[in-house]
Amino acid sequence: MTITPTPIEGLIILTPRIFNDDRGYFFESFNEVSFNDAAGYQVQFVQDNQSFSTKGVLRGLHLQKGEYAQAKLVRVTQGEVLDVAVDLRKASATYGQYQSVLLSADNNKQLFIPRGFAHGFIVLSDTAIFQYKCDNYYNKQAEGGLHYADPALNIDWQLSADELNVSDKDKELPFLKDVTDLGF
């Protein structure tokens, strides 16, 4: 597996080694020992999630607050998405900055997002299946997030505003300037 650090500390892109032959392909999508060596610390994933979405669906920017914060390892098994992680760690030199990565079933890249980030994605293909591992269980009372169109973040979602399909709940998320203590 190839590990590519991003400009935001702790956020890493993982690209598996793919073994192709005339029957198809094989790759190891997760190995705890290799992953923890690459991440530089111990991460124990406890929950796997999957979503199916159509083109233009934008999910995010979501997070879990305080003791329920989650690190995630995300990937796409069908289709293509633009994945976005926003650094919300107050002590970080990159606080308020984001990193976007194109994840697809073709490139098989994965993105590791440590605790302390808001996360979201937009589907660029006709449909997409998005899978992710979490190192902490979901807690409804700890839900939080940022507005996807926050001008302070200025995220390029790669589709025009009229192509976006955003939930009413996500449209109500606050802007970064209005977010107070998130517990990280």
Which residues carry out catalysis? 62, 132
User: Which tokens is 25 given?
Assistant: 């392909």
Can you name the residues that pair with 120 across neighbouring β-strands?
84
* Degrees, nearest 5: CA angle 51-145-134: 45
* Degrees, nearest 5: CA angle 177-179-183: 140
User: Which tokens is 39 given?
Assistant: 């991440």
What is residue 11's three-state secondary structure? coil
Assess whether the previous peptide bond of 61 is cis (omega < 30° from 0): yes
3-state helix, strand, coil in the chain (%, to 5): 15, 40, 45
Rounded distance, CA 163 to CA 56, Å?
Answer: 6
